[in-house]
């Protein structure tokens, strides 16, 4: 009912409340079990032990619940706050390795992979699932990666189109890992494997993009680079 909503609606002003958290948890588990299209708001309200009226007042309709569930998980795909600005080739490699490590760790989490499976399964009946996941997840991570490429380019470390370079690095980082996880033919990678994969992708990317600065950059130490990347993402 209009005017009845409190500041806790959609988590505004007061942050996540216990009731809102309970609703989103119930919605997420229901979406995972029955699919987005087949899940009713009544089912979610029953699981969350709230009335449908309270459900709509606190979170909103089913699509808003889905968007909130995805957004909550997509927020973890941003670049680490303490990522070094890439002013030389060594810090660029460390920044890419650190970002890649965090992206792999968060995206390969079983709950995130489950969201991707729901988006694929519901692509025909509920395309808004895929759109929400693409907007809050994939686009957000690509924007953060493009920002790293743009910074590196501003310091004369790379030449090329930042969004294209971001896509290239993502390809080196993922390979066929995502499809293997979606098909359940691969297990969630261990932390050491994630770090190794991110460091290898960073090194391979820099080999494809030779130093364009006038000064001769020192050859980065691979072991230290990977160690630093691991520290930055924990």
User: Residues 132, 183, 27, CA angle at the centre, nearest 5°?
Assistant: 40
User: How is domain 77-232 classified at the CATH fold level?
Assistant: Tetracycline Repressor; domain 2 (1.10.357)
Q: Which of 28, 175, 42 is nearest to 100 (CA)?
A: 175
User: Residues 84, 234, 218, CA angle at the centre, nearest 5°?
Assistant: 35
CB 171 within 8 A of CB 197: no
**Phi first, then psi: what are they for 40, rounded to 5°?**
-100, 160
Give the end-to-end CA distance of the chain in Å, rounded to a whole number: 44
Quick one: pLDDT at residue 122? 80
Q: pLDDT tens for residues 201-223? A: 999 999 999 885 544 444 444 44
12 burial type by CB count under 10 A (0-12 exposed, 13-18 middle, 19+ buried): exposed
77 burial type by CB count under 10 A (0-12 exposed, 13-18 middle, 19+ buried): buried
The rounded mean pLDDT for the chain is: 83
Quick one: pLDDT at residue 35? 83
Quick one: pLDDT at residue 128? 81
Architecture of the structural domain at 9-60: Orthogonal Bundle (1.10)
Specify the range with the lowest mean pLDDT, choosing from 59-68, 74-83, 134-143, 199-208. 74-83
Quick one: pLDDT at residue 77? 63
pLDDT band at 8 (very low <50, low <70, confident <90, very high): very low
Q: Which parts of the chain are beta strand (E)?
A: none
Q: pLDDT tens for residues 147-161? A: 999 999 999 999 999
Q: Give me the mean pLDDT over the 21-47 stretch.
A: 91
- Give me 19's structure tokens: 């009731």
Q: pLDDT tens for residues 166-183? A: 999 999 999 999 999 999
Quick one: pLDDT at residue 127? 85
- Give me 64's structure tokens: 């808003």
- The domains of the chain are located at 9-60, 77-232
């Amino acid at each position: 009912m209009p005017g009845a909503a409190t500041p806790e609606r959609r988590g505004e002003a007061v942050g996540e409340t216990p009731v809102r958290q309970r609703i989103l948890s119930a919605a997420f588990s229901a979406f995972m079990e029955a699919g987005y299209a087949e899940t009713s708001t009544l089912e979610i309200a029953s699981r969350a032990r709230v009335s449908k009226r309270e459900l709509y007042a606190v979170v909103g309709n089913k699509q808003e619940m889905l968007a909130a569930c995805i957004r909550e998980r997509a927020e973890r795909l941003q670049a680490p706050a303490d990522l070094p600005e890439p002013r030389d080739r060594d810090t660029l490699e460390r920044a890419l390795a650190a970002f890649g490590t965090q992206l792999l760790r968060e995206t390969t989490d079983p709950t995130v992979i489950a969201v991707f499976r729901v988006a694929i399964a519901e692509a025909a009946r509920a395309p808004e699932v895929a759109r929400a996941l693409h907007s809050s997840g994939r686009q957000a991570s690509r924007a953060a990666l493009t920002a790293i490429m743009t910074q590196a380019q501003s310091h004369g470390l790379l030449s090329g189109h930042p969004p294209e370079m971001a896509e290239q690095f993502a390809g080196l980082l993922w390979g066929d890992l995502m499809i293997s996880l979606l098909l359940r033919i691969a297990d969630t990678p261990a932390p050491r494997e994630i770090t190794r994969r991110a460091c290898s992708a960073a090194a391979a990317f820099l080999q494809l993009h030779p130093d364009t600065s006038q000064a001769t950059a020192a050859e980065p130490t691979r072991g230290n680079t990977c160690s630093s990347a691991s520290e930055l993402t924990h």
